[in-house]
Amino acid sequence: MKTQTYPTLTRTVLVFKTNLNAKEDISKIEKGLNNLQDVLDWSVDISDIDKVLRVEANTDNPFEILSVLHTEGYQCEELNY
């Protein structure tokens, strides 16, 4: 039997509804997110109606991430599970 390992098991996934519409929007928040120490990986699903920002982090505190988007003038709201 093959055992499956999930590298993200110990990470927390934070999911946000945003209004990031295009690549230009994503590049505006790129630096801010990459500078956050607790952020391990992130991606934006522009094909989704909620323009979902998905963040894998060492923390479940969304505050710093929200602040990166709000500072650039974007809407950002954490989605609950």
Partner 1 sequence: MRTRDEGKEQLIKEHSIKMIVKKGLDGFSIQNLAKAAKVSPATIYIYYKDKEDLIVTIGAEVFEEVLSHSLKNFTPDMSFAEGLKVQWKNRADYFMSHPVKVQFIEQLRYSQLYVKIGKKIAPDFKIAMSQFAHKAMANKELVKLPFEVYWSIAFAPLYQLIKFHSEGKSYVNEQFQLTDKEMNQSLKLVLKALKP
Using the minimum distance from each CB to partner 1, give the nearer residue, 39 or 73: 39
Residue ranges in 10-69 that form contacts with partner 1 under rule CB under 8 A: 10, 12-13, 15, 43, 45, 47-50, 52, 54, 60
In this structure, are residues 29 and 68 in contact, taking their beta carbons and an 8 Å threshold?
yes
Determine which residue in the list 5, 6, 7, 22 makes contact with partner 1, applying CB under 8 A. 6
- Alpha-carbon gap, residue 37 to 3, rounded angstroms: 31
Using the minimum distance from each CB to partner 1, give the nearer residue, 13 or 31: 13
Name the one range near partner 1 by CB under 8 A: 2-10, 22-30, 31-39, 68-76.
Answer: 2-10
Task: For 18-36, give the secondary structure using H, E and C.
Answer: ECCCCHHHHHHHHHHHHCC
In this structure, are residues 56 and 12 in contact, taking their beta carbons and an 8 Å threshold?
yes
Identify residue 66 by its one-letter amino acid code.
Answer: L
In the complex, the residues that contact partner 1 under the rule CB under 8 A are 6, 9-10, 12-13, 15, 43, 45, 47-50, 52, 54, 60, 79-81
